[in-house]
Amino acid sequence: MDRVGIQNENTNKRIEQNGDERSVTIPIVTITLYDNMKFEIYEKCVMDKIINVGGPPSHVIWDLSNLTSAPMKYIIPQVRLMKRLKSKIWDRIVKSTIIVNDSNGGNAIRRFLDLIFTFYKPQRPIEIIKKCEYKD
C-alpha cells in the first residue's frame, strides 16, 4: 500500500511576547505515514501541504505510529529532501512533533530518526513522543 494520510486543521495557540499575551492561529498539518509508502507520494504530500502553501507557517505533526518497522531505504532520500528544502523548511514549519508507536517498533523508528538527524540538523524545535503521550 502506498498511503500517506494528510489532515489539515487550525488551532489557536496563546503565546507571550514581551510579557503581553496574545492569541495567534497556527495551522497544524498532520502527515501520517504507513508501511510500504512510496517516497514520491510522501514528497508530493510535503510539497503540496507544507512547502507550497501560502499563509502562516505550520506546526507539523509527523505521525509515524502506524509504521511497524523503520523505512531504512528512505534515509538518503529523506536527508536529500530536507537539505534541498532547508530554507523553505525554515519559512514554512515553526515546530514539528513526531509521534512514534508505543511498542519496540517505536524504538526502531527513534533510531531511524536519530540517524536522519545525524546527517541533517533540524532548524526548528522537534518533539518526539509516543502515541500514548499525544493529546490533540
The DSSP result for the chain, as a single string, is ---EEEEEEEEEEEEEETTEEEEEEEEEEEEEE-TT--HHHHHHHHIIIIIT--SS-EEEEEE-TT-SS--GGGHHHHHHHHHHTHHHHHHHEEEEEEEE-SSHHHHHHHHHHHHHHHHS--SS-EEEEEGGG---
Query: In percent, how much of the chain has pLDDT > 90?
Result: 62
pTM of the model: 0.82
Per-residue model confidence (pLDDT) at position 25: 80
| Residue 118 pLDDT greater than 90, yes or no | yes
Write out the residue range of the structural domain in which residue 51 sits: 4-133
Per-residue model confidence (pLDDT) at position 53: 93
Give the chain's domain count.
Answer: 1
CATH code, domain carrying 34: 3.40.525
pLDDT digits (tens, 9 = 90+) for 3-21: 555 454 545 444 444 555 6
Per-residue model confidence (pLDDT) at position 135: 75
pLDDT digits (tens, 9 = 90+) for 71-108: 999 999 999 999 999 999 999 999 999 999 888 667 88
